[in-house]
Chain A
Amino acid sequence: MPGHPPEGAIAPPDGQLSDRSLSRLGAQSLSAYVHIPFCASRCGYCDFNTYTADELGPGANRADYAGTVIREIEFARGVLGATTTPLHSVFFGGGTPTLLPSNDLAHILHSLRDTFALAPDAEITTEANPDSVDKASLAALRDAGFTRISFGWQATAPHVLAVLERTHNVDKALAAVRAAQEVGFEHVSVDLIYGTPGETDDNFRAALTAAIDSGVDHVSAYALIVEDGTRLGAAVKRGTVPQPSDDVAADRYVIADEMLSSAGLEWYEVSNWARPGGECRHNLAYWRNADWWGFGPGAHSHIGGTRWWNVRHPSAYATRIDAGKSPAQAREELTDADQELERVLLGIRLKEGLDGIPDDLSAPLVSEGLLEQHDDNLVLTRQGRLLADLVVRRLT
């Protein structure tokens, strides 16, 4: 949740949703996202809504945080009313969720389970840093009901990790994956970042090889984006670190796609690859425009055509929750046109593709080699994936 939140309409203090949005509840799957806004230290490239462990006050500090989130869960129950839709997926993201004791994560998860119920095959994911877990903490998470863990590797080459200001090393990264597998996680994923200044094609290949060899069933790979307001952004502005090049990023993307697919991990979304059955269901829920409630400061939610986002600062968030008020900072009710636009811009990123696009818009993109027709659906080619935003502009 980077940068500044969008502007939107005022969100009512009781968080009440429109009849329209409430009436749509249950038409799609319902998921939960839980934002954990803590990190041991702040990485130079990161502009997510996260804080180092000790800078926050009552309600928002690490010790109180789980309790505050659980009160938002109760609040959500009230807003969503008597809906019986169980949660299809739960995703703990951050920050570094595993900076909270496993017990706290378990409490939050169990509160969600007790309040909303979990679907029998629900996917329960947490993000983790390789150096914020050990075998015991992972076992505790597994016992609490987590089914999936996603490690923020980002890179394996020491000089690349250094530019990213990551504190782990490749041994820890591999050990964390191994430990997760040993305690019984069915699904383990690693996140990689490519295009970091100083990274070579071979550095990135080595990271991919390490990921593939570790036996994970899911890899996310993102091009480094230099965001304003980060230390890396400042360094690029000063000229002490070169601006990552789009051409390099394109080369690396092709490397990732080739290596991962030949290792049996197929792309299922522009930046995500998985073995069959390893696709992240929570991730798919976003791109399929399903419903989810985002808990925690700065978290975004989408229910039946209403989007809202919580206040960003954990203390402001805690204050609102304590007062029994909605933590939403603002919201927007999507028009039909907005929703169609979102359907295209989200759906086109998936391998399953998109239907309902007029021929006159899609035909030129097919002939230019950016889209392929698969039955009724249009699917991005590899080149199309690299130009997905351009494709969306031309389809909408």
Chain B
Amino acid sequence: MGVSASAPGSTDPSLIRNFCIIAHIDHGKSTLADRMLQLTGVVEGRDMRAQYLDRMDIERERGITIKSQAVRLPYTAGDGRTYILNLIDTPGHVDFTYEVSRSLAACEGAVLLVDAAQGIEAQTLANLYLALENDLQIIPVLNKIDLPFAQPEKYAAELAKIIGCSPDDVLRVSGKTGVGVAELLQATVDLIPPPVGDPDAPARALIFDSVYDTYRGVVTYVRVVDGQLNSRDRIQMMSTRTVHELLEVGVISPDPIPSKGLGVGEVGYLITGVKDVRQSRVGDTVTTLARPATQDLGGYRDPKPMVFAGLYPLDGSDYPELRDALDKLKLNDASLVYEPETSVALGFGFRCGFLGLLHMEIVRERLEREFNLDLISTAPNVVYRVRMDDNSEHIVTNPSEFPDGKVAEVFEPIVRSTVLAPTEFVGAIMELCQQRRGTMDGMDYISEDRVELRYTLPLAEIVFDFFDQLKSRTRGYASLDYEPNGEQAADLVKVDILLHGDPVDAFSAIVHRDKSYNYGVAMAAKLKELIPRQQFEVPIQAAIGARIIARENVRAIRKDVLAKCYGGDITRKRKLLEKQKEGKKRMKMVGRVEVPQEAFIAALSTSDTGAEAKKK
């Protein structure tokens, strides 16, 4: 271990380099980070666990990083001096743009890591722009140069064009074999500016991550900008004004090492004993109570859920377990919001708000995996603002709660999206965006055969299988990034689905008027296949208000009897009956209609989400 004079709390800022790695899923960020840990001696080779920095199982399985961490790497550079490299890990997905921006704000430099066989992806590009806005020093790096299909010349030229450097400035590494990683470490020392701050000013530290730990409570990751934070200090969160005692301060290298304090430019963790990450919010500024700063570091934003869905236990009696599980997840996830809701069709559950589709998938998966719950989720939807003729206003997070009566205007969230793809797919992408009510903001060639298209799109359209469609129309080559960009008025209507005259709340959807007919027809047809025949005819209708726009019939069942008893095999007949009765118990009653749980699941899966597509 390279312990040196530069102990935490008294490191000379000129020896500190704070940086992150901007990369797309699969482009090898974690492998490279692991290699850096190994080369700096922070982790011995034999202790190396693949992808050390990705802690959660889900993260490892999906090859993505959800929660960032920061690791302190003492590194002896070419000049013989030992520098402190703080590698701040960033989430790689569009849902976590805000978290990414806070991680970037904690750095002076960024390694732009791109797969030498694939080139840059849209989300990476978006994060690169974010880094450039933050004035970060960019070190362009091509990874996986050991791959047989690597095209380093081509993609070096692409990167050079995007960031405005020479192709020769693009480093070439292989996280897998270790080639070029030493040169990269040296480059971080040479190119990234050291942090600048006032050691004598009141303390100010930026929270860029906050994680709940079962044993320690909330662990808060900070970058000190000015002053000093010391163990036993009473600290104050500047946005909420809450005060906590600093029980422990330290750095991660890569396991937690407590220290006396953290000084200017340093990156480390704080433990105060609080149990809820909401008390220690990403983007907030930490100061000391004894000598508080007057001005926060800026950029703090409340996490704002963009996508909503109802989550219901498959077995109604699991409702208390679901509630407890959400309460626990919330400790670790400041952006998860939920409130109880009741669905005629699905029973008791929660309407949950997520940052985006991936966030939704992750929450759902954690609920199922860590808490052993079987869940049904409704199709995800966005938040609508509905202004009525009488000027009252409703915020609609559940389509079935769309107000009746005279609607003056409906506003829906929109996003600014970027699609990167080979030029041959431009037509297909434009057609898709057109169908999804997009308006084009611009188009640029990032290299001879790759193009960047920028569209403003309703978020609702993205939530509804956009990513799937994009991938299938571009043979998987296109990548997508988007960020919220306010709202727009649109001609939106609520389509209800009625079974035997009773609306099924779980199937209501808010759609553009031009698409309402297709939606109604498709949903009615789908349900017709899923709903078993009953003793009476069951009409399935799609309606906008009182107007029926589509109708199907499930005809009454006429025969439900097994003819024979098969040579006296009464046992088989009895077991069959018992099985049928078991199946009955899992039926949900919608009015007088028995609907099997499977029908709900299948019907709700119409809107295959982008996040699901990403798993495939």
Interface of A is mostly: mixed
The stretch of A63-71, A96-104, A198-206, A292-300 in contact with B is A292-300
Query: Who on chain A is nearest to B536 by CB?
Result: A368
A222 and B564 contact, CB distance less than 8 A = yes
Which B residues from 556 to 576 make CB contacts under 8 A with A?
A: 557-575
Which B residues from 154 to 209 make CB contacts under 8 A with A?
A: none
Check B301 for interface membership: any CB of A closer than 8 A.
Answer: no
A252 to chain B, nearest CB (A): 10
A250 and B559 contact, CB distance less than 8 A = yes
Residues of B within 8 A of A301 (CB): 568
A223 and B559 contact, CB distance less than 8 A = yes
The answer to whether A292 and B557 touch (CB under 8 A), given A345-B577, A393-B584, is no
Could you mark each residue 114-144 of chain B with 1 if its beta carbon is under 8 Å from any beta carbon of chain A, else 0? 0000000000000000000000000000000
B577 and A302 contact, CB distance less than 8 A = no
The answer to whether A300 and B559 touch (CB under 8 A), given A6-B575, A389-B577, is no
The stretch of A54-62, A156-164, A354-362, A380-388 in contact with B is A380-388
The answer to whether A93 and B559 touch (CB under 8 A), given A6-B572, A368-B535, is no
Query: Who on chain A is nearest to B555 by CB?
Result: A247
Interface of B is mostly: loop
Could you mark each residue 1-17 of chain A with 1 if its beta carbon is under 8 Å from any beta carbon of chain B, else 0? 11101101000000000
B535 and A389 contact, CB distance less than 8 A = no
B577 and A341 contact, CB distance less than 8 A = yes
Check A88 for interface membership: any CB of B closer than 8 A.
Answer: no
Which A residues from 120 to 153 make CB contacts under 8 A with B?
A: none
> Within the complex, which residue of A289, A368, A388 is in contact with B560, where a contact is CB–CB below 8 Å?
A388
The answer to whether A345 and B558 touch (CB under 8 A), given A222-B563, A302-B568, A387-B535, is no
B583 to chain A, nearest CB (A): 10
Separation of A386 and B533 alpha carbons in the complex (Å): 14
B563 and A270 contact, CB distance less than 8 A = yes
Check B581 for interface membership: any CB of A closer than 8 A.
Answer: yes
Check B580 for interface membership: any CB of A closer than 8 A.
Answer: yes
A6 and B569 contact, CB distance less than 8 A = yes
Residues of B within 8 A of A (CB): 535, 555, 557-575, 577-578, 580-581, 584
Check A187 for interface membership: any CB of B closer than 8 A.
Answer: no
Separation of A33 and B567 alpha carbons in the complex (Å): 8
B568 and A292 contact, CB distance less than 8 A = yes
> Within the complex, which residue of A271, A300, A346 is in contact with B564, where a contact is CB–CB below 8 Å?
A271
Question: What is the size, in residues, of chain A's interface with B at 8 Å between Cβ atoms?
Answer: 48
Separation of A390 and B581 alpha carbons in the complex (Å): 10
The answer to whether A393 and B581 touch (CB under 8 A), given A250-B558, A387-B559, is yes
Q: List 7 A-B contacts (CB under 8 A).
A: A287-B565, A292-B568, A299-B567, A302-B568, A341-B577, A389-B562, A393-B584
Query: Who on chain B is nearest to A384 by CB?
Result: B561
> Within the complex, which residue of A35, A294, A299, A307 is in contact with B571, where a contact is CB–CB below 8 Å?
A307
Could you mark each residue 225-258 of chain A with 1 if its beta carbon is under 8 Å from any beta carbon of chain B, else 0? 1000000000000000000001101100100000
Check A332 for interface membership: any CB of B closer than 8 A.
Answer: yes
Query: Who on chain B is nearest to A270 by CB?
Result: B561
A307 and B570 contact, CB distance less than 8 A = yes
A383 to chain B, nearest CB (A): 8
B578 to chain A, nearest CB (A): 8
B567 and A93 contact, CB distance less than 8 A = yes
Beyond contacts A299-B567, A300-B571, A346-B565: 14 other A-B pairs, Cβ-Cβ < 8 A, are: A3-B572, A222-B563, A246-B559, A286-B568, A300-B569, A309-B571, A338-B574, A345-B574, A386-B561, A387-B557, A387-B558, A388-B560, A393-B581, A396-B581
B571 to chain A, nearest CB (A): 4
Separation of A287 and B580 alpha carbons in the complex (Å): 20
Separation of A73 and B570 alpha carbons in the complex (Å): 22
Separation of A242 and B572 alpha carbons in the complex (Å): 26
